[in-house]
Amino acid sequence: MQQIKNNLDWDGGGAPEAPSAPENLQQTGLTIGFLNDMILRMLYTRGGLLGLDLARLLCLPFKVIEESLGFLKNEKAIEVLGGDLIGRISYRFNLTDLGRRRAQEALKMCAYVGPAPVPLEDYVEQVYRQAVTAINVSPEAIRAAFSHLVISDELFNAVGPAIVSGKSVFIYGPPGNGKTAITQAIGNFMNTSGGEIYVPFAFMTENNVVTIFDKSIHEAVDSDDDRMEDNEATIRRLLNTGAVDPRWVKIKRPVIITGGELNLQMLDLRYSAESNYYQAPLHVKANGGIFLVDDFGRQLCSPKELLNRWIVPLENRVDYLSFASGQQFQVPFEQLTMFSTNLDPKELVDEAFLRRMRHKVEITAPERDIYEKIFNAVVKKLGMSACPDAVDFLYDRYYSRGRTPRASDARDLLETVQSICRFRRMPVQLTRDLMAEAAASFIREFK
pTM comes to 0.84
Please tell me the predicted confidence (pLDDT) of residue 345. 79
Which is it for strands 78-80 and 277-279: parallel, antiparallel or unpaired?
A: unpaired
Q: Give the pLDDT score at 401.
A: 87
Here the CATH number for the domain that contains residue 87 is 1.10.10.10
Same domain assignment for residues 288 and 185: yes
Residue 314, in any domain of the structure? yes
Residues 105, 110, 113, 116: is their CA dihedral positive or negative? negative
pLDDT at 83: 61
- Which of 319, 344, 362 terminates a domain? The answer is 362
Residues 332 and 392 in one domain: no
Residue 227 has pLDDT above 70, yes or no: no
Give the mean model confidence (pLDDT) for residues 130-136. Answer: 83
What is the rounded distance in angstroms from the CA atom of residue 38 to the CA atom of residue 27? 17
Per-residue HEC secondary structure of 15-72 comes to: CCCCCECCCCHHHHCCCHHHHHHHHHHHHHHHCCEEHHHHHHHHCCCHHHHHHHHHHH
Domain that holds residue 57: 31-113
Please tell me the number of Cα atoms within 13 Å of 283 on its side-chain side.
28
DSSP-derived pairing of the beta strands 290-293 and 270-272: unpaired
Does 374 share its domain with 283? no
Rg (CA), the chain: 28
CA distances from 35 to 59, 193, 309, 348, 415 (A): 12, 38, 36, 49, 60
Q: What is the pLDDT of residue 303?
A: 80
Q: What does pLDDT average to over the chain?
A: 86
How high is the pLDDT of residue 1? 58
3-state class percentages of the chain: helix first, strand second, coil last, to nearest 5:
50, 15, 35
pLDDT in tens, 13-39: 456 788 999 999 999 999 999 999 999
Count how many domains the chain has. Answer: 3
Does 432 lie in the same domain as 313?
A: no
Q: Which of 162-176, 207-221, 224-238, 335-349 has the lowest mean pLDDT?
A: 224-238
Report pLDDT for 368.
94
Contact 289, 218 (CB under 8 A): no
Please report, for residues 70, 152, 308, the alpha-carbon distance to residue 355 in angstroms, rounded to integers and kept in the order given: 59, 26, 14
Confidence band, pLDDT 50/70/90 cuts, at residue 233: low
Convert the pLDDT of each residue in 49-97 to its tens digit.
999 999 999 999 999 999 999 999 999 999 988 765 456 788 899 999 9
What is the pLDDT, as a whole number, of residue 261? 87
Query: Which of 113, 137, 168 is the last residue in one of the domains?
Result: 113
Other beta carbons within 10 angstroms of residue 91's beta carbon come to: 19
Inform me whether the pLDDT recorded for 7 exceeds 50.
Answer: no
Contact 48, 81 (CB under 8 A): yes
Alpha carbons 34 and 60: distance in angstroms, whole number: 14
Over residues 239-259, the pLDDT tens digits come to 555 588 999 999 999 999 888
Tell me, what's the pLDDT at 13? 47
Among 313, 338, 362, which residue terminates a domain?
362
Query: Does 373 lie in the same domain as 431?
Result: yes
Q: Please, what is the end-to-end C-alpha distance for the chain in angstroms?
A: 53
